[in-house]
């Protein structure tokens, strides 16, 4: 009985190691398909602009600016001509809410983000460009779930979980490119993004330029267009409270 138990535990341990290794191989294939490890490792800052369109008054734009060395992230959401700003830098986190009407020079009320909101933004800093970037350092566990067909394309499904959130990632088995990202937040909200087009950046990394977006809360199918600049110089005022 004792020998049997040892064999079972050994089998489980080996199986987990195999799946973890396979997940890393899948992640590496995506890295190589989009520019290679050296380029990705060389990223220190990014600026991303995204337009979310569903042909309604609720359409919006997102601007992101991240600096890894400063542990800083700027996020601005513009909707109905009003821009709401969120930021973190080091151990600080803030929100800037626009005051007054949109036809006048905007003034902002600044308040402090909650600890949970700050934690989410620190998580997003690197996950905005790759959800599995440094995933082991953050305590995430990667598990290969199996093969699934997404939009008539055979994909490998990898689950990445930790810190109360879960990513379900679907990689094209032929190209290695990430086709779908499904993010389940601790609040229960599920955000599904399908990447329909990749483009080359000036830096040399391929990045999704067109996608679809669906939140389980809003339940609106949105088309997203994205532009990104890597290793640009971010003006200090973006990363200041």
Q: How many CB atoms lie within 10 A of CB 218?
A: 14
Q: How many CB atoms lie within 10 A of CB 236?
A: 9
If one compares 4 and 178, the residue with the highest pLDDT of the two is 178
Q: Is the pLDDT of residue 19 over 60?
A: no
The predicted pLDDT at position 37 comes to 97
The predicted pLDDT at position 18 comes to 39
The predicted pLDDT at position 102 comes to 64
166: which residues sit within 8 A by CB, 6+ positions away?
159, 160, 183, 184
Proportion of the chain above pLDDT 70, given as a percent: 90
Mean pLDDT of 189-200: 97
Tell me the pLDDT of the chain averaged across its residues: 91
Report pLDDT digits (tens) over 93-145.
Answer: 999 999 977 666 789 999 999 999 999 999 999 999 999 999 999 899 999 99
The predicted pLDDT at position 173 comes to 96
User: Taking the model in full, what pTM does it have?
Assistant: 0.88
Mean pLDDT of 40-47: 98
Torsion of CA 97, 219, 60, 132, to 10 degrees: 90
The predicted pLDDT at position 240 comes to 94
| HSE of 110, CA atoms in CB hemisphere, 13 A | 9
């Amino acid at each position: 009985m004792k020998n049997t138990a040892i064999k079972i535990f050994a089998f489980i341990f080996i199986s987990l190691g195999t799946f973890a290794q396979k997940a890393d191989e899948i992640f590496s294939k995506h890295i190589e398909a989009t520019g290679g490890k050296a380029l990705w490792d060389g990223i220190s800052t990014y600026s991303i602009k995204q337009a979310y369109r569903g042909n309604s008054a609720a359409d919006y734009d997102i601007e992101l600016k991240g600096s890894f060395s400063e542990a800083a992230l700027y996020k601005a959401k513009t909707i109905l001509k009003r821009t709401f700003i969120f930021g973190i830098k080091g151990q600080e986190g803030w929100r800037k809410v626009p005051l007054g009407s949109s036809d006048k020079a905007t003034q902002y009320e600044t308040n402090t983000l909650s600890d949970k909101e700050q934690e989410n933004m620190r998580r997003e800093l690197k996950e905005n460009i790759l959800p599995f970037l440094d995933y082991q350092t953050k305590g995430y566990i990667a598990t290969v779930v199996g093969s699934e067909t997404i939009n008539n394309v055979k994909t490998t499904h990898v689950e990445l979980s930790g810190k109360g959130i879960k990513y379900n990632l679907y990689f094209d088995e032929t190209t290695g490119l990430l086709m779908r990202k499904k993010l389940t937040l601790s609040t229960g909200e599920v955000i599904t993004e399908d990447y329909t087009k990749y483009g080359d950046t000036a830096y040399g990394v391929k990045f999704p330029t067109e996608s679809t977006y669906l939140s389980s809360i809003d339940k609106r199918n949105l088309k997203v267009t994205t532009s990104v600049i890597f290793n640009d110089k971010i003006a200090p005022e973006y990363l200041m409270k």
